[in-house]
């Protein structure tokens, strides 16, 4: 019988009380109701540490950097105690054939029982020669580990959607993971994803199994809401009060960044509610417009600092300059925007999981 997570932490001298505290904390972190805590406890008491093989494909290692920033659970606990991170290019001690062997041993020992975490896309142009390890293409290496894994986590927008190297004209034919496999894939987009979201997905699998996914294979628990719907600048959007230039009076008072190019209205991510780096801040709060980094193809949305022309989810195209005029002039414009936004929210509520097509709609209008 293999050691369970609880047995493991017990050996480390962690008290029952601390273990329960930990369970409560991760339940909250996963956005679950406190009444589910006993389920978390039960899962951790009966489940062993899951082996994780974490592979780097076409990437910048930003996701791994984010991964090691997780505060809940504490990063060392995650890497050493909660999972068995048996292969990770950026962290593992062994190199070369010893490193490859480590992954191989896990694969053999835990057939059907390990998680394959992928960071980066896979290039398919010219037979895949644009990214190779050990003289093999990334596709060949992916196939080796995909076959026997329990599930695949596609960390970051590269693995989930192709991301920056897949932006027009996609010179290496960078391809997202889900297009290359029939295995269950959990997409965790973001460039990079929030650390606690990355850890949260693993914790979720550890405790409850694979989380419920939307049609883009994203865990609903972290990607259910638009940035725009949880944004603290939202009252200013509704009131038609917009920043017109970084550093103007509105910028200092925290008005809406829509006219500075904010993609919050078309972006599904946890930034506005979880914030970044232990809840310190997030792009829009800091005064920087959302770039939409968790959306498919966001690099081709058009110039970043230019206003979205269309209210997402509707066919209403409105002129943000008119909305801006509401600040000095007729308050009615602000009301109109509010009404439009409410329509959007209603629509979002109705077909939550099809809202991702908004991004596609947006992309169609992009010139390149």
Partner 1 sequence: MSQRVVIDPITRIEGHLRVEIDVNENNVIGDALSSGTMIRGLEQILVGRDPRDAWAYVQRICGVCTTVHALASLRAVEDALDIRIPKNASLIRDIMNLTQYVHDHVVHFYHLHALDWVDVVSALSADPNETSQIAQSISSWPNSSPGYFRDVQNRLKSFVESGQLGIFSNAYWGHPAYKLPSAVNLLAVTHYLEALEWQKDIVKIHTIFGGKNPHPHYVVGGVASAIDINSDNAINTEKLNQVERLINKAIQVVEQMYIPDLMAIASFYKDWTYGKGIGNYMTFGDFAAPGKDIRDTDSYLFPSGVILNGDLSTVHEVSLTDPEHIQEFVDFTWLKYSDDKPGVGKHPWAGETTFDYTGPKSYKELDMTRPYTWNKAPRWKGHAVEVGPLARILVGYAKGVKEVKEVTDWAAGTLDVPLTALMSTLGRTAARGLETKLLVNRLKDTFNALVANIKAGDTVTFDKTKFDPSTWHRAGKTLQGVGWTEAPRGGLAHYIVIEDQKIKNYQAVVPSTWNASPRDLNGARGAYEAALIGTPMADPHQPLEVIRTIHSFDPCLACAVHLVDKEKREITQVNVIR
Give residues in contact with ligand SF4 (CB under 6 A): 59-60, 62-63, 119-120, 156-158, 163-164, 191-192, 227-228, 231, 233-234, 237, 256-258, 262, 264-265, 284, 290
198's contact among ligand SF4, partner 1, none, with CB below 5 to 8 A by partner kind, is none
Q: Does 56 help bind partner 1 (rule: CB under 8 A)?
A: yes
45: Cα within 13 Å, side-chain hemisphere: 10
Give the shortest CB-347-to-partner 1 separation in angstroms.
28
Question: By C-beta, is 232 or 357 nearer to partner 1?
Answer: 232
Which range binds partner 1 by CB under 8 A, 23-31, 280-288, 332-340, 341-349?
280-288
4's contact among partner 1, ligand SF4, none, with CB below 5 to 8 A by partner kind, is none
Query: Is the separation of the CB atoms in 289 and 247 below 8 Å?
Result: no
Question: By C-beta, is 23 or 326 nearer to ligand SF4?
Answer: 326
Question: By C-beta, is 67 or 114 nearer to ligand SF4?
Answer: 67
Give the shortest CB-103-to-partner 1 separation in angstroms.
9
100 Ramachandran zone, left/alpha/beta (phi>0; psi -120 to 50): alpha
The whole-angstrom separation of Cα 274 and Cα 269 is 9
Strand order, beta sheet including 115-119 = 83-88, 50-56, 115-119, 151-155, 185-188
**What is the chain's alpha carbon radius of gyration, rounded to the nearest angstrom?**
22
Q: Which residues have CB under 8 Å from 328's CB, separation 6+?
A: none
Q: Does 252 help bind partner 1 (rule: CB under 8 A)?
A: yes
The angle subtended at Cα 341 by Cα 336 and Cα 192, nearest 5°, is 145
Q: Cβ-closest residue to ligand SF4?
A: 264
Give the shortest CB-25-to-ligand SF4 separation in angstroms.
26
Give the shortest CB-22-to-ligand SF4 separation in angstroms.
28
Closest to 152 measured CA to CA, from 186, 105, 200, 126: 186
294's contact among partner 1, ligand SF4, none, with CB below 5 to 8 A by partner kind, is none
Give the shortest CB-301-to-partner 1 separation in angstroms.
10
Q: Which two tokens stand for residue 34?
A: 């406190």
204's contact among partner 1, ligand SF4, none, with CB below 5 to 8 A by partner kind, is none
For residue 345, how far is the Cα from the chain centroid? 22
């Amino acid at each position: 019988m293999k050691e369970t997570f609880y047995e493991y932490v017990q050996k480390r001298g962690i008290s029952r009380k601390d273990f329960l505290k930990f369970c409560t904390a991760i339940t909250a972190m996963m956005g679950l109701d406190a009444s589910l805590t006993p389920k978390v406890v039960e899962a951790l008491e009966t489940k062993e540490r899951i082996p994780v093989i974490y592979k780097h494909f076409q990437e910048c290692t930003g996701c791994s950097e984010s991964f090691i920033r997780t505060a809940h659970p504490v990063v060392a606990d995650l890497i050493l105690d909660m999972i068995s991170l048996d292969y990770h290019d950026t962290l593992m001690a062994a190199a070369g054939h010893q490193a490859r062997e480590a992954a191989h041993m896990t694969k053999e020992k835990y057939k059907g029982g390990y998680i394959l975490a992928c960071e980066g896309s896979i290039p398919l142009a010219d037979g895949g020669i644009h990214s190779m390890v050990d003289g093999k293409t990334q596709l060949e290496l992916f196939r080796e580990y995909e076959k026997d894994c329990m599930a695949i986590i596609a960390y970051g927008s590269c693995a989930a959607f192709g991301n920056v190297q897949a932006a027009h004209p996609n010179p290496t034919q960078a391809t997202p993971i889900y297009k290359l496999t029939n295995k269950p894939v959990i997409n965790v987009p973001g460039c990079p994803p929030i650390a606690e979201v990355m850890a949260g997905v693993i914790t979720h699998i550890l405790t409850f199994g694979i989380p419920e996914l939307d049609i883009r294979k994203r865990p609903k628990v972290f990607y259910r809401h638009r940035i725009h719907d949880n944004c603290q600048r939202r009252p200013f959007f509704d009131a038609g009060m917009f920043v017109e230039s970084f550093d103007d009076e509105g910028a200092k008072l925290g008005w809406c960044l829509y006219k500075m190019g904010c993609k919050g209205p078309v972006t599904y991510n946890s930034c506005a509610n979880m914030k970044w780096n232990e809840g310190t801040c997030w792009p829009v709060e800091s005064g920087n417009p959302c770039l939409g980094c968790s959306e498919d193809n966001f690099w081709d949305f058009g110039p970043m600092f230019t206003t979205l022309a269309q209210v997402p989810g509707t066919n209403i195209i409105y002129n943000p300059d008119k909305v801006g005029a509401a600040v000095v002039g007729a308050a009615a414009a602000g009301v109109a925007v509010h009404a439009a936004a409410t329509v959007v929210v209603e629509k979002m509520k109705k077909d939550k999981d099809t809202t991702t097509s908004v991004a596609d709609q947006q992309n169609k209008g992009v010139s390149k």
